[in-house]
Structure 1
Amino acid sequence: MALLSANSVSVFRDGRLVLDGVDMSVDRGEIVTIVGPNGSGKSTLLETLIGAIRPDRGKIRRAPRLRIGYVPQSLHIDPSMPMPVRRFLALPHPHDRLSRARALAQVGLSEAVEDQPMTGLSGGQFQRVLLARAILMEPDLLVLDEATRGLDQPGTAAFYEIVEDLRQVLNCGVLMVSHDLHVVMSASDRVICLNGHICCHGTPEIVASAPEYRALFGMGTRGTLALYRHTHDHAHDADHDCDHDHSQGDGGHHAG
């Protein structure tokens, strides 16, 4: 049974059809990424899948007692009310020191970061703390809504490497929304190309060669998108981006 599935799901927002007849699923142990241009309904689909939005047509099915760890696109913390990482990780439920230290280590951070204020973290550290908080939920499904927005390309690639490691360690499914096409294509088992409806889906290689995908992202019939697969001959630094040796092509396209 799939961890999560959508069957003929349609959603209207302000009288406009945002999602039209979407069918998709996520299984345990796989990474599924949703890509599409701005306004294509990516975040709406994600919110519908996790239950924040009720579909107008169709059904969402979730595995019984499904635990979801969620990493939002952005999170504002008031700098006038300093919140240390330790306190943030205790929301909404406290966890023991060993569990917190293990979660931080799994995202490449040292236990010492617990004493730092959330507002004093770098962009990469902040996103890793959000990820650590999500995995403290011991999720069956990890959901990432453009979790690397604002990170540079090395930071983005390092973040996705951590996600790939977590998928194996936690034996969870991963559902991501992202605009980082060049990295997503290397980090995913399946890609869903969305523009109100599902234009194409399949392995990264299949989607990258699909005419619908190329048309959406302005690549044309002669355009290329470099695909490279992560290798694990890297080491995660305790507080910084991991040291890695990737051979990247020059196909770095973005979805706006």
Structure 2
Amino acid sequence: MSLISATGLTVKYGTQKVLNKIDMSVAPGEIVTIVGPNGSGKTTLLRALLGLTPAKGKVQKKPGLVIGYVPQKLALDPTLPLPVRSFLNLPRSHTPQQIAEMLDRVGVPGIETRQVADLSGGQLQRVLLARALLERPDILILDEPTQGLDQMGEAGFYRLIEDVRQASGVAVLMVSHDLHVVMSASDRVICLNGHVCCEGKPHVVQNAPEYRALFGYGTQGALALYQHAHDHNHDHGCDHDHDHVHNAVTRKDDIEHAG
């Protein structure tokens, strides 16, 4: 059973259709990444799944589903005194031990008394992740969680996400622009451009014509470097015969024509 799914999800802003008949789902323990060009509706899709943006179609959630949400950025008044410990106790209180253990788990131990406004971008993203994980979610939903981080920071954050999934079994649905890292961090990639262009395993989507039409070949080198270092974590069940790539890609247009 899917943790969360969408059927025929459509969103309009005025007369402009931002999302058109999106069908997608996330299974327990799965890491699914949504990629697409600017303006393709990635954040809108997350917000529609969360119920924050009005949409037509159907969103189904597993009964009792707990969602941990990590936003793209946090709008806080920099003059507002807000220690990390106080921030992590919103909206629900946790014990000092729970907070300390979670901060250690996400790689920023001992910063409970630091002001949130004084944290670096990487530290803030890990604190936001800690806050989401303290709720013991079934699924993490992350909206471009590494925006503003350098390449090493991006790779480190995504490896942390993989470690968290491995340790807790939490599912992950994330939007990202970091294509070379995404391809190694994900079980499945959904390529979005107002509709689902294609979806499948990362190496399959990377070679799909629809993906190439949007992103070209520019990420190949970085992808190869990252995968070389982490092949032992990401090759389970993957078919590397690129002659069969076209058979493995789910194309929205093909499905519609067949129907």
Smaller-chain TM-score range?
A: 0.7 to 0.9
CA offsets per residue over residues 9-54 of structure 1, 9 Å max, x none? Answer: 1111122111111111001111000000000000000001111123
Deviation at 1:146, TM superposition (A): 0.4
Report the counterpart of residue 95 of structure 1 in structure 2: 94
**Superposition pairs for residues 20-99 of structure 1, below 5 Å?**
20-56=20-56, 58-99=57-98
* Aligned pairs, number: 229
2:154 pairs with one of 144, 156, 177: 156
Q: Do the aligned partners of 2:4 and 2:61 also contact (CA within 8 Å) in 1?
A: yes
AA aligned opposite 2:139: L
Per-residue deviation, 1:171: 1.0
Displacement of 1:231: 3.8
TM, length-normalised to structure 2:
0.85
Whichever residue aligns with residue 95 of structure 1, its letter is H
State how far apart, in whole Å, the 1-side matches of 2:7 and 2:97 are: 40
- Coordinate RMSD, CA, aligned: 1.7
How many Å apart are 1:140 and its aligned residue?
0.2
CA deviation string 1:33-90 (max 9, x = no partner): 000000000000000111112322x211100010000000001221211211000001
Return the alpha-carbon distance in structure 1 between the equivalents of residues 88 and 220 of structure 2.
42
**Cα distance in 1 for residues equivalent to 2:37 and 2:156:** 24
The question of 1:180 aligning with 2:178 is answered yes
User: Residue 111 of structure 2: SS of its match in structure 1?
Assistant: helix
Q: Which runs of 5+ in 2 are unaligned?
A: 233-259
Q: Which amino acid aligns with 2:206?
A: A
Aligned partners of 1:174 and 1:140: how far apart in 2? 9
Letter in 1 for 2:220: T
Structure 1 residues 2-13: aligned runs within 5 Å? 2-13=2-13
Q: Secondary structure at the match of 2:112?
A: helix
The alpha carbon displacement at 1:137 in A equals 0.7
Question: Unpaired segments of 5 or more residues in structure 1?
Answer: 234-256
Instruction: Report how far residue 232 of structure 1 moved.
Output: 10
Which TM-score applies when normalising by structure 1? 0.86
2:196 to 195, 198, 211: 198
Runs of 4+ aligned structure 1 residues displaced above 2 Å come to 223-233
Shift of 1:193: 0.2
Q: Percent identity?
A: 57
Amino acid aligned to 1:209: N
Q: Decide which structure has greater helix share.
A: 2
Partner of 1:241: none
